[in-house]
Chain A
């Protein structure tokens, strides 16, 4: 077998490389470059839109912030890492909001106590919008399986990065937002 291979190796190599080049050409004709036009809770896709009530009784949609970098963070008052990372989010929100950066903190109200969540927000004095997902609309659209989960969405509405779990270190949070603002 080896002797045959060694005898005809050059022809084998040429055949493989020609076939490979042909496959590259065929694949190029079949390219589906519409990935970013599709909506899915996955990096490189358009972020699913949602409309939710805020803690203050108004309504907000993700689409209201098209053209701005957005951090969508899912949290609950019973989740220690969620509570640990939110003060850091407030700091970066204060620092970058004049550049258009927005934090949308979605409380998974369908799995949380609204009064506990409201007390935590008041104690901490968060100034970014707190949205209430009482019907699990956003949680389902984003396929939330663990808390906290954070989606970093760019100005075009495309998810650039997803972070499962937390707390996100402050330096990392800073770096990710600077990347979004580039």
Chain B
């Protein structure tokens, strides 16, 4: 665990730094691999960049909207460089809206674009795991294991390492091979979604911070099971077409 990088008087939050590095690496990767999905690399880079900027602004505005009076009293707080005042859900909705507007203006085909974004998303998954490892978030259940890690007063499943491995495997499995025939549009995105949902379903069984529902069921696993079912059905449609 290494939540803060102290460089002289400067305190850098390691998890945020890791996410930024992941974003940069993922964007570079997605841009380079985009032609293998039949998408222009520059257009994909612009789309991602617009989504990120819109997401950050949207996350701040959404956060402010939840305590509107406080921000009306102190409007300059909106410009504060702290990463603590961001609402991820609001940010994602605004990022999605901005991407859809940009995509429709540039007449981007939806499914090849989503396919081309998968290397970025998988790289971000690895970065998120590393960020969790640095902050100690997304920690595992207490367990006496040879490979367990001591965290928050107990020996636990190294759930953050499981997360990094799962995201690394996902990236490897969706990686578009240079000489292989291009799959059907949307297939890679379907595979990415199925693999990510499967990993979430499996790994939350070892997590110590899941949202617990009645009878001990975990909310994240139930949602992941639903997403997995939809993505498997979606992939099945592709394979039926191939068979036909």
Contact = CB atoms under 8 A, between A and B. Distances in A.
Contact of A175 (B11, B70, B208, B229): B70
B141 interface: yes
Nearest to A78: B9
A6 B229 contact: no
Interface stretch (A23-31, A108-116, A126-134): A23-31
Contacts of A45: 152
Contact of B216 (A9, A23, A29, A166): A29
Contacts of A9: 235-236, 239-240
B172 interface: no
Nearest to B194: A16
B242 A3 contact: yes
B212 interface: yes
Interface in B34-71: 64, 66-67, 70-71
Given A24-B217, A164-B3, A169 B208 contact: no
A132 B79 CA distance: 33
Interface in A40-55: 40, 42-45
Given A172-B82, A178-B67, A27 B232 contact: no
Given A13-B233, A17-B229, A171-B71, A42 B242 contact: no
A175 B225 contact: no
A43 B208 CA distance: 12
Given A9-B236, A35-B209, A38-B154, A27 B13 contact: no
A19 to B, nearest CB: 10
A6 B242 CA distance: 8
A170 interface: yes
A25 to B, nearest CB: 8
Give the size range of A's interface with the partner: 35 or more
Given A28-B218, A39-B153, A146-B4, A20 B77 contact: no
Interface string B187-213: 000000000001001101100111010
B11 A165 contact: yes
Contacts of A145: 3-4, 6, 11
A31 B67 contact: no
B158 to A, nearest CB: 16
Contacts of B232: 12-13, 16-17
Interface string B113-144: 00000000000000000000000110101100
Contacts of A28: 215-218
A24 B242 contact: no
A151 to B, nearest CB: 13
A147 interface: yes
Given A30-B216, A32-B141, 6 more contacts: A16-B228, A24-B205, A33-B216, A146-B4, A169-B80, A174-B74
13 contacts: A2-B239, A6-B239, A6-B243, A13-B236, A17-B229, A24-B221, A29-B216, A79-B9, A169-B82, A171-B71, A171-B78, A172-B80, A174-B70
